[in-house]
Structure 1
Amino acid sequence: MTSSATRTDIATALTDLLFRPDLELSEAVDRHFAPDYRQRTDGRWDDRTEFTAHIAHLRTVVADGSVQVLDELVQGDRYADRHVVDVTKTDGSAVRTEVYLFAEFAPDGRFRRIEETTLMLQGADSDRNLGSAR
């Protein structure tokens, strides 16, 4: 395992993915997610290609936002956190989601696997699936 100085974290990854339109999506994904990356969100598994399609969709509906990490733990190649994502959508509406996340790092410090559960704190009923929308 690489040193913690070269590991990614969820706040940096989400900021690059969602809130940096100047950064190409493929570069953001390559920076934070291993080639064999898999993610389970609210029970649904996606591979790296499906995850990238999800982020591409979010980039069309998210205008701005931020990530606040409330709790974070790293032990060996394991990562866990609880964070809140605040999003302003392109239509001006706001969504606030709390996320409980468990992850595994690849040897190079990128995420290999994430399993997360989301809890919408603010937003319309139609935003409940934002964590897995395509």
Structure 2
Amino acid sequence: MNRNAVRSDIRTALTDLLLTPGLDLTEAADRHFAPDYRQRTDGEWADRTEFLAHIAHLRTVVATGSVDVHDELTDGDRYADRHTMEIVKTDGSTVRIEVYVFAEYAPDGRFRRIEETTLMLEGTPADRNLGSAR
């Protein structure tokens, strides 16, 4: 990895993607995710285009929220964290999800790949697929 690269992290990426309404989705994604980005959430793979469709959908559902990082580790081009995402939906309901992330950085410090597993802490059964809904 380029030593001068500014590395993305989950809190900043999620804040830009979901919790900063005035920020253009493409601009937010370009800040944190490499062109060849792909993600696996609970066993389901998505390429960058599918990932952005997922985020675009979430932007219609999420009113506000927060990201609480409990554990975070970087080692070379590897990143791992455990965080809780609390979302207040546009219908006023609350969803809390604990997420375990293992990721790889591209040389420029953006995420190239994320593999994550989610654990629903609060929400309805319909909210269970929020991590991969499109």
Read off the aligned partner of 2:7 and give its amino acid letter.
R
Aligned residues of 2:78 and 2:104 also touching (Cα < 8 A): yes
Is 2:3 the partner of 1:3?
Answer: yes
**TM-aligned CA distance change 1:100 to 1:128, over 3 Å:** same
Corresponding position of 1:96: 96
CA distance in 1: counterparts of 2:5 and 2:77, whole angstroms: 13
Deviations 1:25-62 (A, max 9, x none): 00000000000000000000000000000000000000
Question: Counterparts in 2 of 1:8-87, with a 5 A limit?
Answer: 8-87=8-87
Deviations 1:87-134 (A, max 9, x none): 000000000000000000000000000000000000011000000001
Q: Percent same amino acid at aligned positions? A: 75
Aligned residues of 2:5 and 2:108 also touching (Cα < 8 A): no
Runs of 4+ aligned structure 1 residues displaced above 2 Å come to 2-5
- What is the TM-score when the length of structure 1 is the normalising length? 0.98
Across the aligned residues of Structure 1 and Structure 2, the Cα RMSD in angstroms comes to 0.9
* C-alpha displacement of 1:2: 2.7
Read off the aligned partner of 1:99 and give its amino acid letter.
V
- What is the TM-score when the length of structure 2 is the normalising length? 0.98
Q: Unpaired runs of 5+ in structure 1?
A: none
Corresponding position of 1:133: 133
Matched residues, number: 134
CA distance in 2: counterparts of 1:4 and 1:21, whole angstroms: 29
* C-alpha displacement of 1:5: 6.5
Q: Unpaired runs of 5+ in structure 2?
A: none
* C-alpha displacement of 1:3: 3.4
